[in-house]
Structure 1
């Protein structure tokens, strides 16, 4: 089955949120967000590879033979796609190697980039960006802060450190 994985990131001064959605011809299959906290939140190579790997694990849970097209937002083009394709020297070689291994799980994979906030963005790209922006805004509320604190201890796969 052919799937398309969309990955984007948004950031304010304190936190960075990565969002992904998985679509096929039927529509959205799964979606999720990851929050990057701490000193590495501005390291797009490190956090980007971790976010992509977690999204790929989510995709791999689907049954059947999967052909995957990964579309990342422009801010993630340099730190993820170029390193994964071998165009740029990886900043974190072991993370890049793990990402490449995870991509080999699928029958075929293709890497692409798009501007999720541009005028020609598809509804899937805009939806992924909206999920990230909603999560970033929610994290500013008291309820969102409480959820981050809870996720630190009980749901650590949503936090990138």
Structure 2
């Protein structure tokens, strides 16, 4: 069965948020948000690979995924897609190897990049970017900061450090 995985990034001065969604012809199957904080929050190569790997693991758990098309937002094209394909020099070779290994879980996979904020963006792309922006906006509130601290200790899979 053919699935498409969308990955977007939104950031401010305190944190970077990565959002993903897995879709097929029936509609959305899985989605999630990861918050990168700490000293590596602006390192899109490191955090982007971690976010893509977690999204790929979630996609692999979905029943019936055979063919996967990964579409990332334009800011993630150079640090993730080009490094994974071997076009650019790998900043973190171990992360690139793990990402490539996770992509081999699927019978076939394609990597693509798109501008999620352009006028011709698909609704899935816009929805993933909106989810990232909503999580970023929530992290600016007191409740959001508290939830981020709790997630750091109790939901470690939601944070990237």
Give the shorter-chain TM-score range.
over 0.9
Secondary structure in 1 matching 2:75: helix
Q: Name 1:128's counterpart in structure 2.
A: 128
Q: Name 1:109's counterpart in structure 2.
A: 109
Q: Name 1:6's counterpart in structure 2.
A: 6
1:92 & 1:103 partners in 2: Cα distance?
17
TM-superposed deviation, 1:154: 0.4
Cα-to-partner distance string for 1:101-136 (whole Å, 9 max, x where unaligned): 000000100000000000110000000000000000
Q: Name 1:139's counterpart in structure 2.
A: 139
TM-superposed deviation, 1:141: 1.1
2:58 & 2:112 partners in 1: Cα distance?
19
Give the aligned CA root-mean-square deviation in angstroms.
0.7
Cα-to-partner distance string for 1:5-41 (whole Å, 9 max, x where unaligned): 0001010111100000010000011111000001101
Q: Name 1:37's counterpart in structure 2.
A: 37
1:45 & 1:25 partners in 2: Cα distance?
30
Cα-to-partner distance string for 1:50-109 (whole Å, 9 max, x where unaligned): 000000000000123520000000000000000000101100000000000000000100
Cα 1:89–1:151 shift into 2, 3 Å? same
TM-superposed deviation, 1:143: 1.3
Q: Which runs of 5+ in 1 are unaligned?
A: none
Q: Does 1:81 align with 2:63?
A: no
Paired residues, number:
161
Runs of 4+ in 1 over 2 A off after TM superposition: none
TM-score (norm 1): 0.98
Secondary structure in 1 matching 2:54: helix
TM-score (norm 2): 0.98
2:92 & 2:65 partners in 1: Cα distance?
30
Contact map agreement 2:59 2:65 (CA 8 A) in 1? no
Mapping for residues 139-158 of structure 1, pairs under 5 Å: 139-158=139-158
1:64 & 1:3 partners in 2: Cα distance?
9
Q: Which runs of 5+ in 2 are unaligned?
A: none
